[in-house]
Amino acid sequence: VFVINRTVDWIFIIFFLLVLVFCLYAIYDSAMVYEEASNSGIAKEFILEEDDGRRKIDFESLLAVNNDVMGWIVLDGTNVDQMILHGDDNSFYLSHGYDGKYAMAGSAFMDSRNSRNWDDAYILIFGHNMNDDLMFGQLRRYHEKKFFDEHQTGTLYTPNGDYALRVEAELVVSKDASEIYSVAQSRIDATPFLNYINTHADQKRGELEPSRKYIALSTCQGQTNMRQVVVLSYDPNAKL
């Protein structure tokens, strides 16, 4: 009986230690994801300031680190302040940082079918829906009319110039919505995309104009097949 009791005690101790190790790892893992998400796209050493106080991105230095860096998007008054990358597929930057190294929080990135020079009529950008409104976590707030109405501007920074962004619309769609996610055609002719947004948007500024270029920021909605989408636009002929 004594031997059996000792064995049971050891089994309990080992089980307790395994649970403790698992819990500690879970805490560490969550902390690392939070830290990476906080800094993903916010490599502050690349953010400069002009004499007039305007932000400037040191793309020369960034491209020396990784030529997959395409630009940077900021939505005023929100936590959306993200470097944008472009990979060979739509998987790599789900789990890699701007330096190309593994990062649990991943990065915001263009659909791989989009061109790398912002010339497309329609550009799709993915980013994780993180806790504490990090990365694209705050996009869900655009579903609220008050938040949508009060946060309608931003800036697109690219190596070839900067542009004023306008928040055009918000909607929740299935991950299979071809008008949003079939980029191969829409990048050339955005008409089906524009028609879909004009018809299905939950929040909308007005009718979308074909003369502007459009960007859709897309993030997941938990463990569902639905996606949160915020539509931006800019005038390609009006650099800041």
3-state secondary structure of 215: strand
pLDDT of 40 higher than 80: no
Tens digits of residue pLDDT in 55-87: 999 999 999 999 999 999 999 999 999 999 999
Residue 12's pLDDT is what? 62
CB 10 within 8 A of CB 2: no
Residue 23's pLDDT is what? 42
* Mean pLDDT, all residues of the chain: 86
Residue 169's pLDDT is what? 98
Report residue 34's pLDDT band, with 50, 70 and 90 as the boundaries: very low
Query: Averaged over 24-42, what is the pLDDT?
Result: 43
Candidates 61, 54, 116, 44; CA nearest to 84 is 116
Segment among 110-119, 128-137, 168-177, 193-202 with least mean pLDDT: 128-137
CB 140 within 8 A of CB 43: no
Residue 234's φ and ψ, nearest 5 degrees, are: -150, 155
Q: Name which residue leads in pLDDT, 35 or 53.
A: 53
Report residue 5's pLDDT band, with 50, 70 and 90 as the boundaries: low
Residue 66's pLDDT is what? 95
CB 12 within 8 A of CB 75: no
DSSP for residue 79:
S
- The angle subtended at Cα 24 by Cα 22 and Cα 29, nearest 5°, is 90
Residue 83's φ and ψ, nearest 5 degrees, are: -70, 145
